[in-house]
Structure 1
Amino acid sequence: MNKRYAMVVDLRKCIGCHACSVACKSEFDVPLGYWRAWVKTEEKGRYPHVRVSFLPRLCNHCDNPPCTFVCPVKATYKRPDGIVVVDESLCIGCKACIMACPYEARFSHPSKHVANKCDFCYHRVDKGMVPSCVNTCVGRNRIFGDLNDPNSEVRKLLDTQEVQVLKPEMGTSPQVYYIIPDKDTLIPTYKYHNDIERRAFNASNDHL
């Protein structure tokens, strides 16, 4: 039986330390100002009764990934184990997959001029290791494994815990699951993939 990889993020344990984001940048030498993984922060309440919640974000490695359908050269594809990857040797940098992703999980690499995103660190997974972000998480809130293995931790969590995915209405069947997320945190907001985008957006809206 083929393996089917997924990730469970237990938001009850996330402290918003951003170690996952830093580990990802270090693992892949992600350019300054860009991210393959990031943490969304949501503040609620009014001083002094303020609560902060965190939502780690990454590619959702969907079972029905729209990014693979729009790629004209098949550079983006889904492996038999469920991991969605980008073949940089084939990518022509058209950005169709970036626009097709409903989770804003992709960006155009500024020097390679190809699509870039989380790939579950498949170079590590293929060697029997976990993704870098999972290995680094100080609170062990990221759990990675094979859904087809009844003894795996991810399978047991999905069978025993109430979980949610991002934008289920899109029909993409994400394979990143969240335990007890703050529902307000799941409200989609625009994510700037780099500081240039942020400054350009703010400048264009100064008159509003």
Structure 2
Amino acid sequence: MENKRRLFLKCACATAVGAVGSTKLIAAQSDTKTDDTEAEVNYALIHDETKCIGCEVCVDACRETNNVPEGVSRLEIVKTGPFGEYPDQYFSFSRKSCQQCDGTPCVNVCPTGAAYKDPKTGIVSVDSWKCVGCMYCIAACPYQVRFINPVTKAADKCDFCKETRLKEGKSPACVAACPTKALVFGNLKDPDSEIVKVLKTTPNYRSKTDLGTRPKLFRIAAKNGEIKL
């Protein structure tokens, strides 16, 4: 039944593209799914690069919790370095995953509505049964974090464990598993939440903000910003 539904949607999508052109499809999708939806909460994540040791326990926890197949990953830890002079050298570890953008290029280009921003949580998600594998969202994502799941044949990515742990009132698997507490998850609309307190008191940055994506993955830089003369 699932395969028949996917095939129907794929054929319907292809017919529509041939009839009206992809530009009109994208415009129509933008009209029906906007980035201005007022969510009840607005979840975000902080990756503290000063605490991350690159152990990749978060990667394993994500894979196990969300049944992510081998060969693909919703989350990667990217190692760069070494920096500094021996013996005072160090490596930097950064998180590569969905940025949970408020400005959602992936949602805007999806012709079937499979990519969407949940109005209750603000989380950018994918309805796998609607996805036809056109890969428009993969091409549109400036962070290159989306992929086609080899099992579901649908676009996939991090969704803050929305359909697993979050449903049970728990924090995402990566956050719970991190041994150094390098990850902070919470609601940006709650002024008393830990994530808001950290963001207000600790210098942080986000990736590619000049593109207007308004990402909700915040980072605390591992390398200091001192100017050496």
TM-score band, normalised by shorter chain: 0.7 to 0.9
Equivalent residue letter for 2:118: R
1:47-78: CA deviations, max 9, x gaps?
55532110022111100010000000010000
Matches within 5 A, 1:125-204: 125-182=166-223
CA contact (8 A) 1:164 1:181 kept: no
Q: Displacement, 1:127?
A: 2.5
Equivalent residue letter for 1:40: V
1:128-181: CA deviations, max 9, x gaps?
110000010011110101111111000111111111001111110000100124
Q: Displacement, 1:182?
A: 3.9
Of 142-151 and 122-131, deviating more is: 122-131
Whole-Å separation in 1 of the counterparts to 2:193 and 2:212: 26
Q: Displacement, 1:109?
A: 1.1
- 1:39 to 2:80 alignment: no
Whole-Å separation in 2 of the counterparts to 1:162 and 1:112: 40
Q: Secondary structure of the equivalent of 1:77? A: strand
Instruction: Give the corresponding residue for 2:58.
Output: 20
Instruction: Give the corresponding residue for 1:91.
Output: 131
Whole-Å separation in 1 of the counterparts to 2:86 and 2:148: 39
CA contact (8 A) 1:21 1:38 kept: yes
When normalised by structure 1's length, the TM-score is 0.83
Instruction: Give the corresponding residue for 1:61.
Output: 100
Give the number of equivalent residue pairs: 184
Identity over aligned pairs, percent: 41
Q: Secondary structure of the equivalent of 1:7? A: strand
Higher strand share: 1
CA contact (8 A) 2:66 2:161 kept: no
Of 1-10 and 131-140, deviating more is: 1-10
Equivalent residue letter for 2:53: I
1:65-124: CA deviations, max 9, x gaps?
100000000100001221000000100111110111111111011232110100000122
Whole-Å separation in 1 of the counterparts to 2:220 and 2:50: 7
Structure showing greater radius of gyration is: 2
Whole-Å separation in 2 of the counterparts to 1:113 and 1:18: 26
Whole-Å separation in 2 of the counterparts to 1:125 and 1:21: 17
1:28-65: CA deviations, max 9, x gaps?
22121211001000013465553211002211110001
Higher helix share: 2
Stretches of structure 2 lacking an aligned partner (at least 5 in a row): 1-38, 225-229
